[in-house]
């Protein structure tokens, strides 16, 4: 339904998106996960035809968004990060306008507007001016706007940002209802959101795709991935070498503690392995003083941070400890 090939976007010398390729199948919900400035919004804007790509192609429902822009746009519903609302319009008036510019035939317009209102539970506010609605209800109007022409593809940029927990749950519930009938891409920087709503996740960082997987796989991988923390006194260089020689160790990060020579170490190990005793044996075997050793299981957030933050590993792992 959506095919993105070697998509690149530059602003002058700044690269916003670099060589991104992915596909989304019909009826699938795809999550775009990444920190602010990762290129999520830029990618979505290119998909919707708002921005031209520097290089690469995007096809939506078989139509090239640059070459056959109007045909592609007809099939896309788009909720930008800031809902594009006219505060002085009523909910119904606004949706009627959107239906018109999206090319909904006059005969169906009324029923489409009613359907969008029903889907987003805006019934009792249909005659209300948009400026009188609360943040959560405005977001719903934004969603209704993206759905009013019954598009094959729905693109939602941070649909839950700025909402309270109850509203977030409602919006997620609504997105889940779109599965099967619509192909959905949504962006977020909140992990639980993708695991709750998406079939597949693309983790994007610094304009590149860092990982693609199902949330289930990611979660399984994460549950298995282990972190072992140590505090000891010993030789820093030798320590790293020694630990890395143990099979199953992925990453080692070492930080010197202020009080004379003690080291704080974080060792990341393969999923499903328990290397605590082997690590202890290795450390003690070299004659180093071991003060502390404990296992911390990596959370989803940690993997996400590892994949997407610019900070050094030490800070990241420390911050989560």
Partner 1 sequence: MSGFLRGVVAIYRKEMGHYLVSPVAYVVLGMFLLIGGLFYYTILTFYMERSLAASMQAMQFGAPPEVDVPSMTINSLFGVLGQVALFLLPMATMGVYAEERRRGTIELLMTSPVTDWQIVLGKYLASFSLFLILLLPTLAYHGVLFWKSEPRPPLGIMLSGYLGLLLLGGAFLALGNFISSLTESQLIAAVVTFCVALVLWIIDIAGPGAGTTIGELFQYLSVLRHYEDFARGVVDTTSLVFFGSWIALGLFLTLRSLDSMRWRRA
Give residues in contact with partner 1 (CB under 8 A). 11, 14, 45, 48-52, 70-71, 73-74, 76, 78, 80, 82-89, 93, 97-98, 100-103, 145
**Is the Cβ–Cβ distance between 126 and 91 less than 8 Å?**
yes
The residue (of 156 and 194) whose beta carbon lies closer to partner 1 is: 156
- Give the whole-angstrom CA distance, residue 207 versus residue 27: 26
Which CB sits closer to partner 1, 139 or 226?
139
How far apart CA 45 and CA 250 sit, in angstroms, is 37
Give least dist CB 251 to partner 1, A: 35
Residue 173 Cβ, how far from partner 1 at the closest point, in Å? 25
Q: Which is nearer to partner 1, 70 or 165 (CB)?
A: 70
The residue to which tokens 């959560």 are assigned: 136
In the complex with partner 1, which residue's Cβ is closer, 56 or 225?
56
DSSP SS3 for 57: strand
Alpha carbon distance 310, 273 (integer Å): 28
Characterise 218 by phi-psi region: left (phi > 0), alpha (psi -120 to 50), beta (else): alpha
Q: Minimal distance in Å, beta carbon 16 to partner 1? A: 8
Tokens representing residue 295 in the block: 């296992």
**Nearest CB to partner 1, comparing residues 149 and 172:** 149
Nearer to partner 1, 106 or 124 (CB): 106
Closest contact distance (angstroms) between CB of 311 and partner 1 is: 25
Please state the closest distance from residue 155 (CB atom) to partner 1, in A.
Answer: 9
Closer CB to partner 1, residue 120 or residue 269? 120
How many angstroms separate the CA atoms of 300 and 221, rounded? 9
Distance of closest approach, residue 206 Cβ to partner 1, in angstroms: 16
Q: Strand, coil or helix: what is 202?
A: strand
| DSSP code per residue over 152-178 | SEEEEESTTTT--HHHHHHHHHHHHHT
CA–CA gap between residue 287 and residue 273 (Å, rounded): 25
Instruction: Rank residues 59 and 200 by Cβ distance to partner 1 and give the closer one.
Output: 59
d(CA 236, CA 309): 25
| Shortest reach from residue 8's CB to partner 1, in Å | 15
The answer to whether the CB of 32 falls within 8 A of the CB of 212 is no
CA pair distance 270, 250, nearest whole angstrom: 6
CB of 57 to partner 1, least distance (A): 17
Name the residue among 151, 173, 200 with its Cα closest to residue 32: 200
């Amino acid at each position: 339904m959506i095919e993105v090939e070697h998509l690149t976007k530059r602003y002058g010398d700044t690269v916003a998106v670099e060589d991104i390729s992915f596909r989304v199948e019909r009826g699938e919900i795809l999550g775009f996960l990444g920190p602010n400035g990762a290129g999520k919004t830029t990618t979505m804007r290119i998909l919707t035809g708002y921005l031209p790509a520097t290089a690469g192609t995007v096809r939506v429902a078989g139509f090239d968004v640059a070459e056959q822009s109007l045909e592609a746009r007809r099939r896309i519903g788009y909720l930008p990060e800031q809902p594009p609302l006219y505060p002085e319009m009523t909910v119904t008036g606004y949706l009627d306008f959107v239906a018109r510019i999206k090319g909904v035939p006059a005969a169906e317009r009324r029923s489409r507007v009613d359907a969008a209102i029903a889907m987003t539970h805006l019934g009792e506010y249909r005659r209300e001016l948009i400026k009188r609605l609360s943040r959560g209800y405005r977001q719903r109007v934004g969603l209704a706007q993206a759905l009013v022409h019954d598009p094959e593809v729905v693109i939602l940029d941070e649909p839950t940002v700025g909402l309270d927990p109850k509203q977030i749950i409602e919006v997620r519930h609504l997105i889940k209802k779109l599965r099967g009938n619509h192909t959905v891409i949504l962006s977020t920087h909140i992990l639980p959101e993708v695991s709750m709503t998406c079939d597949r996740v693309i983790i994007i960082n610094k304009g590149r795709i860092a990982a693609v997987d199902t949330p289930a796989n990611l979660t399984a991988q994460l549950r298995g991935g282990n972190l072992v923390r140590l505090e000891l006194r010993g030789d820093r260089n030798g320590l790293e070498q020694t630990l890395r020689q143990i099979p199953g160790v992925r990453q080692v990060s070492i930080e010197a503690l202020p009080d004379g020579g003690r080291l704080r170490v974080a060792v990341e190990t393969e999923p499903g392995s328990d290397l605590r005793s082997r690590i202890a044996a290795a450390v003690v075997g070299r004659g180093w003083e071991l003060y502390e050793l404990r296992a911390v299981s990596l959370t989803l957030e940690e993997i996400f941070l590892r994949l997407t933050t610019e900070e050094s590993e030490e800070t990241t792992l420390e911050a989560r400890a």
